[in-house]
Amino acid sequence: MIEVNQDNLHLLLPGKIHWLVEYLHDDYGYSLQDCLTRIYHSELYKKLSLERTKYWHLGPVDLYEELKKEL
């Protein structure tokens, strides 16, 4: 089993971001560009991109609930 660390965390993020984009588009009708902008500028993304927070361990629904708190 491969250990997740700061050097390889970036490999997990596209899958997590994909779900968030889909949820934002479905719930709010945002364009792809707007979804990505909102995600990448969010506090959630800052936490998600740091291994030590362990946010990468959360599933898409939990991550989306966190993101919605910021919207």
From residue 1, give the alpha-carbon distance in Å to each of 4, 68, 69. Answer: 9, 33, 34
- Greater confidence, 18 or 1? 18
Pairwise CA distance, residues 11 & 26, whole Å: 25
Can you tell me the distance from the alpha carbon of 66 to that of 71, in angstroms, rounded to the nearest whole number? 9
Q: What is the pTM of this model?
A: 0.90
10 Å Cβ neighbour count for 10? 9
* 50 to 13, 21, 31, 64: CA distances (angstroms): 11, 20, 26, 17
41-55 pLDDT, tens digit each: 999 999 999 999 999
pLDDT of residue 2: 84
